[in-house]
């Protein structure tokens, strides 16, 4: 089983929504489309599902050309950002609705709905209507509808985006388990890098209608092929600084901080990308390179603390574990891990990392 | 924190009280005043208790006009609501067609009511009106000033022409508020067009439809100007709906007592029907 996009392009009027794209998704994989709003994730999914036709290019499923085939004839299910359920149906009837239309016997329906309801912790509320449920339960119902069908292709379009923080965390942890042992291809669109890392599988980074990089999630994260891909896969955004390399010595153009590198590249000027969590307020492990900073903003996010600071004429972001607050204008030392630096050339292509 | 009691806030509410008193309570109390008393000239009143109410409730004339009123309202709701939904479903969802359709739909709503009546009167006149003359030319014996059926037909047609747009506009707004994802989800399920209508569109339109039905009920139940100009309540009393009958009684015969009692009964019927209908429609809403 595989899903293949061959030179798929989507234009609406003069505007290009998806630039010619090639992508091959394999059986039993979770594939994450990672990109900001309007990157083309939804459009790409709708083309994959057959809800929308590409302007040019072909979609192949199991070595069969399915371009332009109606979505009803394909075995596809989809979950949306909004909680989409039939408003007048009970949870049970909602989950059973895809089975009823395809004419599955009532005994089998009962058994399959029961099973998937248990998986999604909906067993106790099968007789309720969607508007009597919390947002999390409504989305669980929508997920159950998608899973009950045993589709070949399950598309999830930012399913957690409309949930509040607690419910999102809760459902997010259950997600990988839901897709285990399923004979299908899962495509999952999200704007959040942490969701991609949690789900594993493969990740495609998207920007402005282009797939920048596709590969195993960890590889895409650790070896971004370009600055754009690294930025898409970094939240908060990566710090970027101009550096100069000569011999085994590197230094920022902004200041006189120097470090040694094992990089085997030509001497010259490069850009370095540093993820915020590789700059911490305390010396720890390999975080040893010292940088002085003046605090701009200090904020707390979950159990982590973000410090925005200036050094030279650049703004930097650091992310440290623990909850603490710094006063605006404080001078402080921060520590960077040079092993995790990602080096790009002046065209913003990856040179090397480490 | 301790809350201090400060009754001065009531001063802010006083203007509203005064306003409501002048435009609603005082006129209404005048009617109540008439309903319980016999009125003579020179501001002489005599207490009559519930006599006028009994008289109205037992009057065949009232029963007949109330019956006509319910029949009329029922017929126009039965036509306008489904027709309005049907038209809203066929309206374009994007492009230049949207403003064009919306403007065309709003036209009948913008015409003053007595003009609507006058327009339809001339339009339907059997000798010179386009509708009346054409129907007669086609072999129908049509004359709304003489024949009861024709008078009803014309009145209903006029009301449908005048007010269906309101239902269309409300339904259209309801339809447009349904997120496209619902349609996609139904498409993925392989649901039929009919299933999409009954399982998604209708439930999602429930609230605006409730409003549409309520508005159309109230307006049609209190209809006066258009049939007054079109048929004057005739032929005979055939299209004398409640308000036409009421005005005849109050200003034609100057029976102020019974007319006041009738207006109060009229008012309570409208209130009661609206309340019952709204409660029934909304009984499953909002308990989440």
Flag if A51 and B185 touch (Cβ within 8 Å): no
Q: How many domains does chain A contain in total? A: 2
Could you give the C-alpha distances from A59 to A49, B82, B163, in angstroms and in order? 10, 42, 50
Within a domain: residue A232? Answer: no
Residue B5 is predicted with a pLDDT of 81
Residue B152 is predicted with a pLDDT of 93
Asked if residue B204 lies in contact with residue B170, where contact means CB atoms within 8 angstroms, the answer is no
Please report residues of B whose CB lies closer than 8 A to that of A72: 187-188, 190
Tell me whether strands A153-157 and A185-190 are parallel, antiparallel or unpaired: parallel
As a dihedral over the C-alpha atoms of residue B26, residue B28, residue B33, residue B35, rounded to 10 degrees, the angle is: 170
* Mean pLDDT, range B49-63, rounded to an integer: 87
Tell me the three state secondary structure of residue A23.
strand
Flag if A98 and B189 touch (Cβ within 8 Å): yes
Name every residue whose Cβ is closer than 8 Å to that of residue B139 and which is 6 or more positions away in sequence: none
* Mean pLDDT, range A326-343, rounded to an integer: 87
Identify the residue with better confidence: B135 or B1.
B135
Residue B288 is predicted with a pLDDT of 37
b/e code A305-322 from CB counts within 10 Å (16+ = b):
bbbbbebeeeebbbbbee
Of A170-174, A213-217, B200-204, least confident by mean pLDDT is: A170-174
Residue B9 pLDDT > 90: no
SS percent in chain B: helix, strand, coil, step 5? 75, 5, 25
Identify the residue with better confidence: A25 or A264.
A25
**CATH number of the domain to which A98 belongs:** 3.40.50.300
Question: Chain B residue with minimal CA distance to A90?
Answer: B199
Identify the residue with better confidence: B254 or B32.
B32
Q: Which of residues 206-225 of B touch A (CB under 8 A)?
A: none
Distance from chain centroid for Cα A159: 12
**CA-wise closest residue to B142 among B125, B118, B156, B158:** B125
* Mean pLDDT, range A279-289, rounded to an integer: 80
Nearest chain B CA: its distance from A139 CA (Å): 13
Q: Which helix (H) or strand (E) holds A342?
A: strand A342-344
pLDDT band with cut points at 50, 70 and 90 for residue B287: very low
Residue A109 pLDDT > 50: yes
Shared domain for A65 and A191, answered yes or no, is yes
Q: Is B182 on the interface with A (CB under 8 A)?
A: yes
Nearest chain A CA: its distance from B103 CA (Å): 27
Residue B1 is predicted with a pLDDT of 61
Please report residues of A whose CB lies closer than 8 A to that of B287: 132
Over residues B95-141, the pLDDT tens digits come to: 899 999 999 999 999 999 999 999 999 999 988 899 999 999 998 88
Shared domain for A22 and A80, answered yes or no, is yes
Q: Is B184 on the interface with A (CB under 8 A)?
A: yes
Q: Is B191 on the interface with A (CB under 8 A)?
A: yes
**CA-wise closest residue to B141 among B126, B151, B123, B128:** B126
Please report residues of B whose CB lies closer than 8 A to that of A80: 181, 184-185
C-alpha span between B155 and B242 (Å, rounded): 15
Residue B145 is predicted with a pLDDT of 86
Of B187, B190, B200, the CB nearest to A51: B187
Establish whether this prediction's ipTM goes over 0.85.
Answer: no
Interface-testing mutation among B185, B206, B287, with chain A (most A C-beta atoms within 10 A) = B185
Q: Is B199 on the interface with A (CB under 8 A)?
A: yes
C-alpha span between B132 and B124 (Å, rounded): 4
Please report residues of B whose CB lies closer than 8 A to that of A135: none
SS percent in chain A: helix, strand, coil, step 5? 25, 40, 35
Within a domain: residue A31? Answer: yes
Shared domain for A102 and A197, answered yes or no, is yes
Identify the residue with better confidence: B208 or A261.
B208
3-state secondary structure B160-194: HHHHHHHHHHHHHHHHHCCCHHHHHHHHHHCCCHH
Share of chain A above pLDDT 70, in %: 99
pLDDT band with cut points at 50, 70 and 90 for residue B156: very high
Backbone φ, ψ for residue B39 (5° rounding): -110, 130
Question: Chain B residue with minimal CA distance to A79?
Answer: B185
Residue B284 is predicted with a pLDDT of 66
Over residues A217-231, the pLDDT tens digits come to: 988 988 888 888 988
Shared domain for A223 and A244, answered yes or no, is no
Residue B157 pLDDT > 90: yes
Shared domain for A83 and A161, answered yes or no, is yes
Shared domain for A250 and A168, answered yes or no, is no
Q: Which residue has the tokens 């669980």?
A: A140
Asked if residue A291 lies in contact with residue A335, where contact means CB atoms within 8 angstroms, the answer is yes
Residue A254 pLDDT > 90: no
When the pLDDT of each residue in chain A is averaged and rounded to a whole number, the result is: 87
Over residues A146-180, the pLDDT tens digits come to: 989 888 899 999 998 888 888 888 888 888 888 87
Residue A88 is predicted with a pLDDT of 87
Flag if A101 and B190 touch (Cβ within 8 Å): yes
Shared domain for A139 and A274, answered yes or no, is no
Q: Is A80 on the interface with B (CB under 8 A)?
A: yes
Shared domain for A41 and A141, answered yes or no, is yes
Shared domain for A214 and A286, answered yes or no, is no
C-alpha span between A197 and B175 (Å, rounded): 39
Q: Which domain holds residue A321?
A: 239-353
Paired strand residues for A15: A12
Residue A170 is predicted with a pLDDT of 84
Residue A285 pLDDT > 50: yes
Q: Is B189 on the interface with A (CB under 8 A)?
A: yes
Share of chain A above pLDDT 90, in %: 16
Chosen domain end from A227, A248, A273: A227
Chosen domain end from A177, A201, A227: A227
When the pLDDT of each residue in chain B is averaged and rounded to a whole number, the result is: 89
Residue A255 pLDDT > 90: no
Q: Is A48 on the interface with B (CB under 8 A)?
A: no
Residue A353 pLDDT > 70: no
**Long-range contacts: A250-256, Cβ < 8 Å, 24+?**
A252/A312, A254/A311, A254/A312, A254/A313, A254/A314, A255/A291, A255/A311, A255/A312
Asked if residue B106 lies in contact with residue B169, where contact means CB atoms within 8 angstroms, the answer is yes
Q: Is A57 on the interface with B (CB under 8 A)?
A: no
Residue B26 is predicted with a pLDDT of 86
Flag if B190 and A102 touch (Cβ within 8 Å): yes
Nearest chain A CA: its distance from B201 CA (Å): 10
Nearest chain B CA: its distance from A162 CA (Å): 14
What six digits make up the tokens of B136?
């007669």
C-alpha span between A255 and A137 (Å, rounded): 53
Shared domain for A249 and A219, answered yes or no, is no
Residue A149 is predicted with a pLDDT of 86
* Mean pLDDT, range B273-281, rounded to an integer: 89
Chosen domain end from A174, A203, A227: A227
Q: Is A101 on the interface with B (CB under 8 A)?
A: yes
Nearest chain A CA: its distance from B284 CA (Å): 10
Q: Is A13 on the interface with B (CB under 8 A)?
A: no
Over residues A116-150, the pLDDT tens digits come to: 898 888 888 999 998 888 888 999 999 999 989 88
Question: Which CATH number is associated with domain B61-255+266-282?
Answer: 1.10.3720.10
Within a domain: residue A202? Answer: yes
Alpha helices in B9-96 (DSSP H): 10-20, 26-35, 51-58, 60-90
**CA-wise closest residue to A232 among A36, A42, A32, A43:** A36
Nearest chain B CA: its distance from A229 CA (Å): 29
* Mean pLDDT, range A179-208, rounded to an integer: 89
Q: Is A127 on the interface with B (CB under 8 A)?
A: no
pLDDT band with cut points at 50, 70 and 90 for residue B57: confident
Within a domain: residue A234? Answer: no
Shared domain for A197 and A311, answered yes or no, is no
Over residues A42-97, the pLDDT tens digits come to: 999 989 988 888 999 888 988 888 888 888 888 899 999 989 999 889 999 999 98
Q: Which residue has the tokens 């029907």?
A: B273
Shared domain for A268 and A131, answered yes or no, is no
Within a domain: residue A233? Answer: no
Q: Which residue has the tokens 């009950």?
A: A148
- Within a 10 A sphere around the Cβ of A194, how many other Cβ atoms? 10
Q: Is B185 on the interface with A (CB under 8 A)?
A: yes
C-alpha span between A86 and A58 (Å, rounded): 33
Please report residues of A whose CB lies closer than 8 A to that of B203: 86-88
**CATH number of the domain to which A254 belongs:** 2.40.50.100
Question: Chain B residue with minimal CA distance to A149?
Answer: B189
């Amino acid at each position: 089983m595989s899903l293949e996009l061959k030179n798929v392009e989507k234009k609406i009027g003069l505007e290009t929504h998806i630039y010619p794209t090639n992508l091959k998704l394999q059986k039993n994989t979770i594939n994450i489309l990672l990109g900001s709003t309007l990157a083309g994730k939804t459009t790409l999914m709708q083309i994959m599902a057959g809800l929308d036709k590409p302007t040019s290019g072909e979609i192949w499923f199991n070595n069969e050309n399915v371009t332009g085939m109606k979505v009803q004839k394909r075995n596809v299910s989809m979950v949306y950002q909004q909680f989409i359920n039939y408003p007048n149906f009970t949870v049970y009837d909602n989950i059973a609705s895809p089975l009823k239309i395809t004419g599955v016997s009532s005994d089998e329906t009962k058994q399959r709905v029961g099973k998937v309801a248990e998986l999604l912790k909906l067993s106790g509320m099968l007789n309720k209507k969607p508007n009597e449920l919390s947002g999390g339960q409504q989305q669980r119902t929508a997920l159950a509808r998608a899973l009950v069908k045993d589709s070949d292709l399950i598309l999830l379009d930012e399913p957690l985006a409309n949930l509040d923080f607690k419910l999102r965390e809760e459902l997010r942890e259950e997600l990988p388990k839901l897709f285990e042992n399923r004979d299908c291809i899962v495509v999952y669109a999200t704007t959040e890098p942490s969701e991609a890392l949690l789900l594993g599988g493969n990740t495609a980074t998207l920007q402005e209608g282009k797939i920048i990089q596709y590969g195993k999630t960890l590889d895409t994260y650790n070896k971004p092929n370009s600055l754009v891909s690294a930025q898409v896969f970094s939240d908060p955004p990566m710090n970027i600084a101009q550096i100069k390399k000569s011999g085994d010595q590197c230094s920022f153009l902004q200041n006189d901080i120097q470090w040694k590198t094992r990089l085997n590249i030509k001497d010259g000027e490069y850009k370095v990308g540093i993820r915020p969590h590789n700059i911490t307020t305390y010396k720890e492990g390999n975080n040893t390179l010292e940088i002085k900073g003046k605090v701009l903003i200090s904020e707390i996010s979950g159990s982590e603390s973000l410090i925005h600071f200036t050094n030279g004429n650049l703004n930097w972001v650091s992310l440290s574990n623990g909850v603490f607050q710094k006063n605006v204008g404080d001078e402080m030392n921060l520590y960077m891990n040079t092993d995790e630096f990602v080096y790009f050339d002046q065209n913003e292509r990856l040179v090397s990392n480490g | 924190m301790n809350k201090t009691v400060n009754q001065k806030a009531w001063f802010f509410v006083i203007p509203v009280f005064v306003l409501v008193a002048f435009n609603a309570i005082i006129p209404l109390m005048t009617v109540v005043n008439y309903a319980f008393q016999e009125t003579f000239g020179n501001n002489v009143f005599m207490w009559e208790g519930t006599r006028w109410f009994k008289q109205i409730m037992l009057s065949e004339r009232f029963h007949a006009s109330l019956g006509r009123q319910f029949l009329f309202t029922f017929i126009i709701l039965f036509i306008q609501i489904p027709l309005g939904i049907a038209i809203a479903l066929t309206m374009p969802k994007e492009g230049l067609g949207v403003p064009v359709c919306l403007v065309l739909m709003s036209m009948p709503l913008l015409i003053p009511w007595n003009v609507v009546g006058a327009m339809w009167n001339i339009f339907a006149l059997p000798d010179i009106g386009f509708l009346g003359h054409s129907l007669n030319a086609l072999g129908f014996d049509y004359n709304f000033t003489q024949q009861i059926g024709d008078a009803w037909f014309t009145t209903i047609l006029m009301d449908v022409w005048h007010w269906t747009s309101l239902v269309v506009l409300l339904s259209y707004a309801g339809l447009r508020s349904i997120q496209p994802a619902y349609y996609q989800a139904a498409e993925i399920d392989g649901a039929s067009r009919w299933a999409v209508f009954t399982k998604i569109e209708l439930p999602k339109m429930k609230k605006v439809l409730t409003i549409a039905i309520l508005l159309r009920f109230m307006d049609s139940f209190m209809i006066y100007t258009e049939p007054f100009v079109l048929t004057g309540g005739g032929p005979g009393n055939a299209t004398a709906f409640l308000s036409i009958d009421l005005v005849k009684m109050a200003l034609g015969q100057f029976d102020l007592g019974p007319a006041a009692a009738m207006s109060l009964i009229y008012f309570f019927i409208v209130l009661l029907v609206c309340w019952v209908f709204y409660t029934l429609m909304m009984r499953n809403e909002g308990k989440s």
